[in-house]
Structure 1
Amino acid sequence: MGINDFLKSTFSHFGRSARKKEVISRILKSPIQNNDDVVNLHRYDPTNIGDYYCGVHHYFDNLKGKYLDIFDYKREDQEVRDNWFEKITQNSLIIGGGGLLNREGFDLQMKLFEQLGEKGKKTVLWGLGHNAKSPSTYGKITKYNVDTSKFGLVGVRDYGMKEEWVPCASCLHPIFDKQWTVENEIGIIFHKKTLGNEKVQKQFEAFPSTANNAVFEDVVRFIGQTDTIMTDSYHAMYWSLMLGKKVLVIPNSSKFYDFKYQPVISSFDNWQADIKKVQAYSGVLDDCRQTNLTFAQKAFDYLNV
């Protein structure tokens, strides 16, 4: 990195940091903390179909159009930041889904929502989970980076935690009711970041593949047409298990270790030996849907929506 790029990156970092702190401070100091309506916060990113479709607002008529990108508090556009402030101070909050816990990039926002719960803000955690990057944490997460008792209602996608289990709401998408004919024995769904790994791409070039930045409907169809899925995408794992597929996971975060129906964990180096261990589960889709619908009734009663 040249000196100009370094300086540009440094100034950009400090600018984002200042914007984040200013918005959070303004929210916490605001005398207005209403529960007029509800807004759903998650990572609203159309280039990552897992992040995009994990938003609860996609699946319930009373939440349609009521969403915020959890990253909007750091945007350069003042109007975007002001909208974030306005929506949060005026409304009850549904936070999730996605890997928003135990992750540095979401720490400030989650701590903010925790504090707002203490100030009378109605808050619901729905289908989110831990997402620690360090391999030393894999399979070892026992607590979250926020006090979940400070939130009004809690449902997390991590089955091994003490909180109520509520998997990602994307299970409610009607596309999972479709049926496909299996055409591929093994298929790979890459996380979009892995597309830049030339070694991995070369290693698996002979296999049919897609990625989590592709069109959602195409990815789900790919899963439906494949017997065994290998992936380093959480939602590709989740959707594959719901469709009764055998799944081999290459973990890049703690999030893969705590789903109710466990896939086989492997690596890009050892996949050939481990893929012989994979198994399919039945009833996953129905379980996930019913759990979400039951939780939705509790959430909407609590939020009065």
Structure 2
Amino acid sequence: MQLVNKKGVSFYSKWDAEPANIGDQLASPMLYFDFNNLGSRKILVVGGGAIPDALEVFPSEQHDARIVWGVGKSEPLVQSSKEKRKIIKRRIKSRLASLLELIFKAETRVVSSRELRTAASYLVPCPSCLHPVCTKPRGKGVAVVLNANDRVSGSADSVLNDLKRDFPGIELVTNSIDEVQLLSLFGRTDWIITNSYHMTYWSLLSGGKVTPIAHSSKIPGLLSLFDLPREAAATYRSGDSQQLGQAIRDALAQRRFIELEDPRGARARFCSLNETFASAVMQAVPDLEIQVKPSTAALRTQCHIAACI
């Protein structure tokens, strides 16, 4: 992953991941907030997206302040012994890094997470709650949107081709679509079946129906954020395209989905949590100025007004 430098602030996210992932591309706070470094301190902003090593990426001696914005984790639901050891090692490394930072005070840190079950100081949902897709008027169609990564979906193309033969009226795409295609898709559909975190997130916030299919801890954690039962997500083993395809077919046959009673209220609450965190960051890093971008300020106002109706 590459750093993006704007107005004296460095940003690290998974925006350039391969294969392309529209969720990762739209998860960075730099898309929704203007950051301006008024001093000489070196500032790093990490997030959003699933970045389990957010406290370790880029050594602390390279930066004077580290802001971790709404990051999450992704741990397999079905774990091999090797995966369990890897997760334990990662947790120990993260806690050790935090302890060393506390002892040596190498950099100022302001840490938030999109996960409820975390030791982060602030709960901050993905800042893409400020994206227009979350207020897009929904259509009437049905779509299956799969993660394009083979480690997640196995062969997404094979799954979609199999479904195409039996369900010709359903839109079948991956999350490698671009922003224009994303908005168009949401405008045509009301129900999305997906194994993508952000497709689930945006579907719920936009008032649509969604059938989440989980391979890792990400989607169950997201459902907890919405105060929805984690068991509402179907599950499958990471990379098992056969299990994934069957879960999709079961959802279509049973018309099983979830939706929010108050998506407007959820959007307003999530926008507010992001703004509150921005204020906390400015208090901790006085040389850093953060303002909601004009385009997202209009959306934020719309969210707050709608929540009061």
The TM-score range, normalised by the shorter chain, is 0.5 to 0.7
Structure 1 residue 167: deviation in Å?
Answer: 1.0
Amino acid at match of 1:97: G
8 Å CA contact 1:248, 1:278 repeated in 2: yes
Task: Identify the residue that residue 268 of structure 2 maps to in structure 1.
Answer: 286
Structure 1 residue 200: deviation in Å?
Answer: 1.1
Residues 1:224 and 1:155: Cα distance change in structure 2 (over 3 Å): farther
Distance in 2 (CA, whole Å) between partners of 1:167 and 1:100 is 14
| Aligned partner of 1:95 among 26, 43, 46 | 46
Task: Identify the residue that residue 111 of structure 1 maps to in structure 2.
Answer: 56
8 Å CA contact 1:127, 1:168 repeated in 2: yes
Residues 1:235 and 1:56: Cα distance change in structure 2 (over 3 Å): same
How many residue pairs match? The answer is: 235
Structure 1 residue 170: deviation in Å?
Answer: 1.2
Task: Identify the residue that residue 68 of structure 1 maps to in structure 2.
Answer: none
8 Å CA contact 1:189, 1:230 repeated in 2: yes
Is 1:221 aligned with 2:184?
A: yes
Distance in 2 (CA, whole Å) between partners of 1:131 and 1:226 is 28
Structure 1 residue 134: deviation in Å?
Answer: 6.0
Q: SS of the counterpart of 2:112?
A: strand
Instruction: Structure 1: state its 5+ residue gaps.
Output: 1-19, 21-35, 65-88, 102-106
8 Å CA contact 2:160, 2:172 repeated in 1: no
163-172 or 259-268, larger mean C-alpha shift: 259-268
* TM-score normalized by the length of structure 2: 0.65
Residues 1:220 and 1:284: Cα distance change in structure 2 (over 3 Å): farther
Write out aligned runs for 1:10-49 (5 A): 37-45=8-16, 47-49=20-22
Is 1:202 aligned with 2:161?
A: yes
Task: Identify the residue that residue 190 of structure 1 maps to in structure 2.
Answer: 146
| Aligned partner of 2:233 among 253, 265, 279 | 265
Residues 1:248 and 1:116: Cα distance change in structure 2 (over 3 Å): same
* TM-score normalized by the length of structure 1: 0.66
Write out aligned runs for 1:80-91 (5 A): 91=42
188-197 or 235-244, larger mean C-alpha shift: 188-197
Structure 1 residue 198: deviation in Å?
Answer: 4.7
Task: Note the alpha carbon deviations across 1:149-208, whole angstroms, 9 max, x for none.
Answer: 74611110112223221111111123433324x221x31111123484454123321221
Distance in 2 (CA, whole Å) between partners of 1:212 and 1:199 is 15
Residues 1:133 and 1:270: Cα distance change in structure 2 (over 3 Å): closer
Amino acid at match of 1:183: K
| Aligned partner of 2:219 among 230, 233, 256 | 256
| Aligned partner of 1:121 among 64, 67, 84 | 64
199-208 or 189-198, larger mean C-alpha shift: 189-198
Residues 1:63 and 1:204: Cα distance change in structure 2 (over 3 Å): farther
148-157 or 247-256, larger mean C-alpha shift: 148-157
8 Å CA contact 2:27, 2:126 repeated in 1: yes
Amino acid at match of 1:122: A
Distance in 2 (CA, whole Å) between partners of 1:178 and 1:227 is 11
8 Å CA contact 1:191, 1:233 repeated in 2: yes
8 Å CA contact 2:134, 2:203 repeated in 1: no
Residues 1:62 and 1:286: Cα distance change in structure 2 (over 3 Å): same
Amino acid at match of 1:300: M
Structure 1 residue 40: deviation in Å?
Answer: 1.5
Task: Note the alpha carbon deviations across 1:25-64, whole angstroms, 9 max, x for none.
Answer: xxxxxxxxxxx94211111228321111111111112269
Amino acid at match of 2:191: T
Task: Identify the residue that residue 94 of structure 2 maps to in structure 1.
Answer: 146
Task: Identify the residue that residue 230 of structure 1 maps to in structure 2.
Answer: 193
Alpha carbon RMSD of aligned pairs, Å? Answer: 3.3
Structure 1 residue 254: deviation in Å?
Answer: 2.2
Task: Note the alpha carbon deviations across 1:59-103, whole angstroms, 9 max, x for none.
Answer: 112269xxxxxxxxxxxxxxxxxxxxxxxx9621111111111xx
Distance in 1 (CA, whole Å) between partners of 2:283 and 2:137 is 34
Residues 1:269 and 1:178: Cα distance change in structure 2 (over 3 Å): closer
Percent sequence identity over matched residues? 24
8 Å CA contact 2:77, 2:216 repeated in 1: yes
Task: Note the alpha carbon deviations across 1:197-256, whole angstroms, 9 max, x for none.
Answer: 454123321221222111213213323432221111111111111112222122233222
> RCO (CA 8 Å, sep 6+): is it higher in 1 or 2?
2
Residues 1:120 and 1:190: Cα distance change in structure 2 (over 3 Å): closer
| Aligned partner of 2:130 among 147, 164, 172 | 172
Distance in 1 (CA, whole Å) between partners of 2:73 and 2:154 is 24
Q: SS of the counterpart of 1:301?
A: helix
Residues 1:63 and 1:158: Cα distance change in structure 2 (over 3 Å): farther
Structure 1 residue 120: deviation in Å?
Answer: 7.5
Q: SS of the counterpart of 2:35?
A: helix
